[in-house]
């Protein structure tokens, strides 16, 4: 496992909810990352934001890791959930809330 893959693996496994994003949760640096941050904040989910802009190897590495071409990328309990569009669609259909709850993640206002 390369250094960057090991870093990503440890980040994904180290927190229940991890968002690889452009910028930080307090200061997203792209609209898509910002949308996912808004959804997670709205749901009151505790998560770790990892800024891919801090490191070019990380920015490419996360795409290789998930075989997903874009950032942001949301991971729950070590599993890749999706990018902005998928997260938004799941949220609007209440599937994201269910998925998080099923994984034992506390969600504000979950059914």
Instruction: Please name each of the domains of the chain with its CATH number.
Output: 3-102 (3.40.30.10)
> 15: helix, coil or strand?
coil
Q: What is the pLDDT of residues 51-103, one digit of tens each?
A: 999 999 999 999 999 999 999 999 999 999 999 999 999 999 999 999 999 99
β partners of residue 28? 23
Residues 6+ apart with CB under 8 A from 49: 18, 19, 21, 23, 24, 25, 37
Q: Is the pTM of this model over 0.85?
A: yes
Q: Strands 17-21 and 48-51: what pairing?
A: parallel
Q: Do 74 and 14 meet the contact criterion of CB atoms below 8 Å apart?
A: no
Token pair, residue 53, equals 């802009």
């Amino acid at each position: 496992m390369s250094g960057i893959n090991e870093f990503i693996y440890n980040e994904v496994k180290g927190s229940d909810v991890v968002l690889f994003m452009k910028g930080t949760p307090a200061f997203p640096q792209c609209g898509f990352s910002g949308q996912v941050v808004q959804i997670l904040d709205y749901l009151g989910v505790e998560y770790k934001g990892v800024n891919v802009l801090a490191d070019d190897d990380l920015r490419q590495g996360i795409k290789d890791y998930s075989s997903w071409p874009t950032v942001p990328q949301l991971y729950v309990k070590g599993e890749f959930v999706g990018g902005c569009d998928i997260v938004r669609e799941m949220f609007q259909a209440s599937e994201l809330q269910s998925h998080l709850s099923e994984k034992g993640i506390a969600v504000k206002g979950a059914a």
